[in-house]
Amino acid sequence: MTLALVFPGQGAQSPGFLHKLPQHDAVRATLAEASAALGFDVLTLDSDDGLRSTIAVQIGLTVAGVAVARALVRDGLVPQFCAGLSVGAYAAAVSCEALTFGDALHMVRKRAELMESAWPSGYGLTAVAGLSETQVETLAQAHARDGGEAVYVANVNAPRQIVVAGADAALEAFAARALAAGARKAQRLEVAVPSHCELLADAADALATWARDVPFSAPRSVYVDNRGGRPLHSADAIRADLATNMRYTVRWYDALTVMIESGASVLVEAPPGQVLTDIARGQYPEAAALAASTLPLERLVAIVRRRLGEVA
């Protein structure tokens, strides 16, 4: 069996996404466990007002990812690979048993608090489609030479799907520059902090210090990191990846490639959304990529079992 479970990052959220999770005992138990650990009802996180908070979004994504991962395991689908984009890496770490769910929730809350307090407003992310990383870097350098405020490559999601981070005005000016240079699209994302760049260096250092005594274990399945897009095998390496990934470029395409080249033939994306599914289908059409949020759980499980059987 060669199943990979992947977890989306901030920007995938939509109002009500926690309420749309499957009606499954494992999901209900996960929601109850999260509410007990955090001291409030986590189903309050996905309202329109709630989703304006980086803290609410990041906790909600972690809860959704772990809930569906547990439901799949309960139904006999244990992933051999786990990877998450940005904050999705926390659900991946829980799913491969490198970190307990409770510790992950507290670490995610601390992470989001640090990110939100570092840059409470006026910053974010813009996705640029149709240009390579090198082209985007070149445009960013030209933007800076012309006196513009710095923008940074935050995500390399695919060879021509790049996300940049920076201040609002800088992102707006850079989007116009990218479109003039031939980008197919430049779209602002629903993220209110400048993730995955040096603007979060101090916040990452603070989280690494805070997480020093959080217990981690060696993963039971293959955990693929954000920063290098490579498998990590030790507890300390996964702790460092989770604590510091907010300041480094997410190399999702590399992580996806490693999983495919290592034998992952079926990829399931945890809710919400299907951004990672679309990337996988576009880059590796020979793999079966499925978004859990688009299918009833029973049908998803049946399709995954059939696809894995076909591969075997």
Q: What is the pLDDT of residue 152?
A: 97
pLDDT class of 91 with cuts at 50, 70, 90? very high
Give whole-number Cα distances, 17 to 31, 113, 263, 272, in Å. 13, 21, 31, 6
pLDDT class of 1 with cuts at 50, 70, 90? low
Q: What is the mean pLDDT of residues 58-81?
A: 97
Last residue of some domain: 188, 221, 237? 188
Q: By the 8 A CB rule, do 30 and 101 touch?
A: yes
Which of 95, 143, 195, 196 is flagged as catalytic? 196
Q: Quick: pLDDT tens for 6-55.
A: 999 999 999 999 999 999 999 999 999 999 999 999 999 999 999 999 99
Is pLDDT above 90 for 310? no
Q: Are residues 101 and 159 in the same domain?
A: no
Q: Are residues 227 and 108 in the same domain?
A: yes
Q: Quick: pLDDT tens for 156-215.
A: 999 999 999 999 999 999 999 999 999 999 999 989 899 999 999 999 999 999 999 999
Q: Quick: pLDDT tens for 103-131.
A: 999 999 999 999 999 988 899 999 999 99
Rounded to whole angstroms, the Cα distance separating 280 from 5 reads: 12
Q: Are residues 13 and 115 in the same domain?
A: yes
Is pLDDT above 90 for 144? yes
Domain count, the chain: 2
List % helix, strand, coil for the chain (3-state, nearest 5): 50, 15, 35
Q: By the 8 A CB rule, do 81 and 5 touch?
A: yes
| Residue 61 falls inside a structural domain | yes
Q: What is the pLDDT of residue 311?
A: 61
Q: By the 8 A CB rule, do 99 and 216 touch?
A: yes
User: Is there a catalytic annotation at residue 196?
Assistant: yes
- What CATH number is associated with residue 282? 3.40.366.10
| Residue 193 falls inside a structural domain | no
Is pLDDT above 60 for 312? no
Q: Quick: pLDDT tens for 130-141.
A: 999 999 999 999
Within 10 Å of residue 148's Cβ, how many Cβ atoms? 17
H/E segment holding residue 193: none
Q: What is the mean pLDDT of residues 236-262?
A: 97
Q: What is the pLDDT of residue 120?
A: 85
What does pTM read for this prediction?
A: 0.95
Range of the domain at 148: 123-188
Rounded to whole angstroms, the Cα distance separating 75 from 240 reads: 32
Q: Are residues 105 and 24 in the same domain?
A: yes
State both tokens at 19. 């309420």
- What CATH number is associated with residue 128? 3.30.70.250
Percentage of residues in the chain with pLDDT exceeding 70?
A: 99
Q: What is the mean pLDDT of residues 269-278?
A: 96
User: Is there a catalytic annotation at residue 233?
Assistant: no
Q: Are residues 108 and 52 in the same domain?
A: yes
> What is the average pLDDT score of the chain?
96
Q: What is the pLDDT of residue 14?
A: 95
Which of 24, 86, 95, 195 is flagged as catalytic? 86
